[in-house]
Structure 1
Amino acid sequence: MRRTSSLVSWIACLALAVGARAATAQNGSSESSLKPGDVVRISVWDSPTLSGEFTVGPDGALKHPIYKQVNVAGVPLPQLTGQIETFLKTLQREPKVEVEPLVRVMLGGEIRAPNVYTLAPETTVAEAIARAGGPTDMGLMDRVTIVRGDRREVVDASATGARGGGMLIRSGDQILLGRKHNVLRDYIGPVASIAASIAAFINLARR
């Protein structure tokens, strides 16, 4: 039963992600940029030594003996390919290159596979949650906290649109799923524990 519930939850989360993607495609997306710790996947035709996945270092440059001259932190993503291509032209006459930025986000709370993920910047919040296995049985898709820099926002990731599940991720985001209230655990349990402590104290005082 629990496995079936988990599968249904994941499928529902995936469906929400597809809807959120469609809504985001209609609304467009705002520019974002890379930060240290993010990754750039570079494919240069016929140049395996210049191809691969390279991490953005603390200084903002790519960690690579050659690409270390390229500072990518803070560069708007639409300009990233052009910047790397311009650098490659100092090494090759007509480089054929494909560039794919990947940003790091942390998913936690009531989610099945909490971890740090490296995802494409076009990924929506709903898609990121689905990538991490979806919510647990106690997870709330309509109460997801997004921590972005010094801002903290609670969104309904079960809703499509740019302010819900269709919100695009950003480098360094923390995506935290809320937890359903359990009356027995959250309220009755603590009250019963306090009552038992009071009763024990009264019994001790009577001796």
Structure 2
Amino acid sequence: MLLRPAFLLAITMLFSACAEKGAGPVLSSGERYVSSASAVSDYRLGVGDRVKVTVYNEPNLTGEFWVNPDGTISLPLIGNVPANNRPVGEIASDARARFADGYLRDPKVAMEVVVFRPFYILGEVSTPGQYPYVNGLTAMNAVALAKGFTPRANRDVIRIRRQGETEEVNYRLTPELIIYPGDTIRIGERFF
């Protein structure tokens, strides 16, 4: 009779070890759990983003521009402006200074993101793939875009790899969990 509880304990420990092997800690607080307004307020551009540049009283210089694969935005007259991993306001100031350097007298430049780079969702969702990012996107919204969980999906923990990083981080899946443009989300399989 004592063997049965010991056997059950050993099996439980074995499955727990399998479930946690290589998983790392599961985060349930931090920058991804703050309000969505502050999450994108310090947004930094990356390859695949499209911005609208408005140069006041200069319709030929105004337009929408993609961040190129080399991390720059090609603007008329001034050429390539470094944009990768820089906030929009900083890039607009840089463009304003370049336009003022021999091209325009007292230029006024505004810039806003019109298309964010996509995010990716893999694993135990009905339709994994690439999806367009929208401001304020949460992990639950991302799963909904991918047509929901499969029956085998782990609905408690998800793994997210931010664009430009090599490691995935485990997060507790809550309605407040924020997704950033370029993120790769992986929904794992549950064991029971």
Report what 1:41 is aligned to.
51
Relative distance call for 1:27 and 1:86 in structure 2 (3 A) is same
What secondary structure is seen at the aligned counterpart in 1 of 2:160?
Answer: strand
Report what 2:38 is aligned to.
28
Conserved? CA contact 2:154–2:187, under 8 Å: yes
Conserved? CA contact 1:42–1:99, under 8 Å: yes
Report what 2:14 is aligned to.
none
- Alpha carbon RMSD of aligned pairs, Å? 3.6
Q: Distance in 2 between matches of 1:68 and 1:75?
A: 17
Conserved? CA contact 2:75–2:81, under 8 Å: no
Report what 2:145 is aligned to.
131
* Shift in Å, 1:143: 2.1
1:110 to 124, 127, 133: 124
Conserved? CA contact 2:140–2:175, under 8 Å: no
Conserved? CA contact 2:61–2:76, under 8 Å: no
Relative distance call for 1:133 and 1:121 in structure 2 (3 A) is same
Conserved? CA contact 1:29–1:168, under 8 Å: no
What secondary structure is seen at the aligned counterpart in 2 of 1:62?
Answer: strand
Report what 1:190 is aligned to.
none
Q: Which runs of 5+ in 1 are unaligned?
A: 1-22, 184-207
1:157 to 150, 173, 178: 173
Report what 1:50 is aligned to.
62
* Shift in Å, 1:75: 0.9
Q: Which runs of 5+ in 2 are unaligned?
A: 1-32
Conserved? CA contact 2:72–2:82, under 8 Å: yes
Q: Distance in 2 between matches of 1:62 and 1:147?
A: 25
- Number of residue pairs the alignment of both structures matches: 152
* Shift in Å, 1:76: 2.9
* Shift in Å, 1:94: 5.1
Q: Is 1:69 aligned to 2:85, yes or no?
A: no
Structure that is richer in strand per residue: 2
What secondary structure is seen at the aligned counterpart in 1 of 2:39?
Answer: coil
Relative distance call for 1:156 and 1:85 in structure 2 (3 A) is farther
Relative distance call for 1:85 and 1:112 in structure 2 (3 A) is farther
Q: Distance in 2 between matches of 1:178 and 1:115?
A: 15
Report what 1:100 is aligned to.
113
Residue identity opposite 2:171 in structure 1 = V
Could you list the per-position Cα deviations for residues 68-95 of structure 1 after superposition, in whole angstroms to 9, with x for gaps in the alignment?
4211112134534444455566558554
Relative distance call for 1:34 and 1:96 in structure 2 (3 A) is closer
Report runs of 4+ in structure 1 exceeding 6 Å deviation: none
- Among the aligned pairs, what percent are the same residue? 17
Could you list the per-position Cα deviations for residues 135-177 of structure 1 after superposition, in whole angstroms to 9, with x for gaps in the alignment?
33433332211123122211122353xxxx2x34153x21011
Structure that is richer in helix per residue: 1
